[in-house]
Amino acid sequence: MSAQLSPIVSEFETDEQAASYDRRFRAKVLEAMNSTKP
């Protein structure tokens, strides 16, 4: 189990939540970069 992250340093309660958000965010950015929309 991972330790709780400090709310001053991170908006996420756990490392798993932070990693999950990071994966979703990176996928969304990559999708936008590959888009042909203006």
3 or 34, which is more confident? 34
SS (H, E, C) 1-38: CCCCCCCCCCCCCCHHHHHHHHHHHHHHHHHHHHCCCC
**Residue 5 confidence class, pLDDT cut points 50, 70, 90:** low
Q: What is the pTM of this model?
A: 0.65
